Amino acid sequence: MKKFLLEADLHRIAQWLRFLGQDALLLSGPIEKRKLLKYLDRVFITTSRRLEGHLKAWDVDYFLLPRENWKVQLCLLIRYFGIKPELRLDRCYYCNEKLMSVDREKVKDRLPPLVYIYGRDFTLCPSCGKVYWKGSHHERLKSQLEEILKLC
């Protein structure tokens, strides 16, 4: 599986790649050679044609996205990299860390009361501490993914 590094403007794409189980980091601040060279194990995703010459000279593996609607951009990445278009929801939406299953009792004090009662499939980010569960948002994400895939 490829690992990705995305320019900061592509934060929505990074989040969706994470929903699909992909390792996707965001590059903060300006795009500089020294920063990119720290991540040579990742494919750099950008919309900047201006950078292309530099990326080639620096021998950075990159993929140039058109400045389109984010849904079209996501479709291009799914097709080009052969990403399985299914919600895995096994990475933290915020920090990209792999999530771990957790018993609801261990996170009870961090859950809304109704989520504690009706929620299921709880996971925890070991890095930032965010708690996730399968709720009504899961069906909304699935519907949104289906709509996105119609563009592919």
Q: How far apart are CA 94 and CA 70, in angstroms?
A: 18
Domain extent at residue 63:
3-81
**Inside any domain, residue 75:** yes
Euclidean distance between CA atoms 22 and 76, whole angstroms: 15
A 10 A CB-CB count for 142 gives 12
The position carrying tokens 């299921």 is 120
User: Does 68 map to a domain?
Assistant: yes
Alpha helices in 7-121 (DSSP H): 11-19, 33-36, 52-57, 70-81, 113-118
Per the listing, tokens 């569960």 go with 133
Q: pLDDT 10s digit of each residue in the chain, 152 long?
A: 899 999 999 999 999 999 999 999 999 988 999 999 999 999 999 999 999 999 999 999 999 999 989 999 999 999 999 999 999 999 999 999 999 999 999 999 999 999 988 888 999 999 999 999 988 788 899 999 999 999 88
Q: Answer yes or no: is 119 within a domain.
A: yes
Residue 138 lies in a domain: yes
72 within domain boundaries? yes
**Same domain, residue pair 14 and 73:** yes
- 71 domain residue, yes or no: yes
CA angle 135, 139, 143 (to 5 degrees): 160
Distance CA 17, CA 44 (A): 13
Instruction: Clarify whether residues 104 and 53 are in a common domain.
Output: no
Total structural domains within the chain? 2
Structure tokens at 31: 């795009």
- Indicate whether 38 belongs to any domain: yes
Query: 28 and 77: one domain?
Result: yes
* Predicted model pTM: 0.92
**Whether 73 and 106 share a structural domain:** no
Residues 25 and 63 in one domain: yes
